Structure 1
Amino acid sequence: MYNENNPNETQRKGRIEVICGSMFSGKTEELLRRLRRAKIARQKVEIFKP
């Protein structure tokens, strides 16, 4: 979040990715694949299940 009082403060960026599909379409496998790649890249990841 940008702080007007401190213009040198770094702005955080992120994104939301949705994995959707019918039953048995490989959603879980894709999620696990992305988690492994993020772990290798030392990225911070949060997962939410509705």
Structure 2
Amino acid sequence: MDYVYKVKVVSAALTYTIDRFTVLVEDVIISSGINAEYFFFFFFFFF
């Protein structure tokens, strides 16, 4: 049970971090005027 709890906490923290990072990246893209769809296609294509 303790192991399951730790896995849930870690996955929740990762999800939160990724969500925050995505919002941050989107803000940077929007403020610099780059087309977001093109950027994400480029990002996922090369990484």
How does the TM-score come out when normalised to structure 1? 0.44
If each structure's helix is expressed as a fraction of its own residues, which one has the higher value? 2
User: Which structure's CA Rg is the greater one?
Assistant: 1
How does the TM-score come out when normalised to structure 2? 0.47
